[in-house]
Amino acid sequence: MSRIANNPVPVPSGVEVTIDGPDLNVKGTKGALQLTLHGLVSIAREEDLLLLKAVGPTQQATALAGTFRSLVSNMVQGVSEGYQKQLELQGVGYRAQAQGAKLNLTLGFSHPVVYQVPEGIEIETPTQTQIIVKGIDKQKVGQVSAEIRAFRPPEPYKGKGIRYKGENVRSKQGKTVGAFQTRNIPHLGHEKIIEKFWPGPLTLILKLTDEKLKNSELNHVGEKVDKLVNSVMNQL
């Protein structure tokens, strides 16, 4: 038998549980939820405990018993305490505002993002960069939070976007800006060029008209291009 299913689900005071065949109804101070059990799972109540068992010795029945035990436990906690997830916005000009059944998001796009809040979910925005998703259905709270985060997932370079509170976002190191180099390119008629790389899939190629330029002079040109590139990249 599943180890998870071996653990009974305690029913706290103030929670009403009704079992009608495979249908389970749970009602509490936060609301009510309903669940239909699989045919390979049985449920019974003994005082203030709900016991779930697998019907038959099959591996599928054992796995389903553990799954439904977790679902029932989530239902009981949901109607008595509720669930919530917190999201944070990071980025210049990023903000969120809850207005009734809509969540207005400004995420750096050319247009605002309007998210329609589904039934059974409550969204609060204590500040312009904080979003709190509340509800009694754990699965729905997680789904709504994931949908909001998907509008602008945190990017790995500067971390801008929507993230869960406390989420650890792996940051990537951008390509370092190296010194200018001269080399021959066959398909350019063996003309000497200056090639420069910076973070991103971009390459700057400058034709070298004066082959007598010294390395110090090339580096001086490189410093000027560095400043131009960095100013452009900081505005993206």
Range of weakest confidence among 25-29, 215-219, 222-226: 215-219
Q: Is 131 exposed, middle or buried (0-12, 13-18, 19+ CB in 10 A)?
A: buried
Least reliable range by pLDDT among 1-10, 69-78, 199-208: 199-208
Domain boundaries of the chain, sorted by first residue: 3-80, 83-164, 181-234
Give the list of residues 6+ apart from residue 234 with CB closer than 8 angstroms, or none.
none
- Give the angle 136-141-144 at the CA atoms, nearest 5°: 145
Residue 201 Cα distances to 8, 89, 148, angstroms: 56, 27, 29
Q: How far is CA 97 from CA 20, 21, 119, 146, 201, in A?
A: 42, 44, 18, 17, 35
Distance between CA atoms of residues 41 and 233, nearest Å:
58
**Neighbouring residues of 36: CB distance < 8 A, sequence distance ≥ 6:** 22, 23, 24
DSSP string, 176-196: P----EEEEEGGGTTEEEEEE
Between 134 and 219, the more confident residue is 134
83-164 carries CATH number 3.90.470.10: no
Please give the average per-residue pLDDT across 173-182, as a whole number.
52
Range among 69-78, 154-163, 201-210 with highest mean pLDDT value = 69-78
Q: Which tokens belong to 117?
A: 């809040």
Q: Is the pTM of this model over 0.75?
A: no
pLDDT value of position 208:
53
CATH of domain 3-80: 3.90.930.12
Element holding 47 (H helix, E strand): none
Shared fold status for 3-80 and 83-164: yes
Q: How far apart are CA 202 and CA 196, in angstroms?
A: 9
Q: Are 4 and 69 in contact (CB under 8 A)?
A: yes
pLDDT in tens, 105-142: 999 999 999 999 999 999 999 999 999 999 999 999 99
Euclidean distance between CA atoms 232 and 89, whole angstroms: 24
Output the CA torsion sign for 154, 156, 159, 163.
Answer: positive
Token pair for 126: 């204590």
14 phi-psi bin (left φ>0, alpha ψ -120 to 50, beta other): left
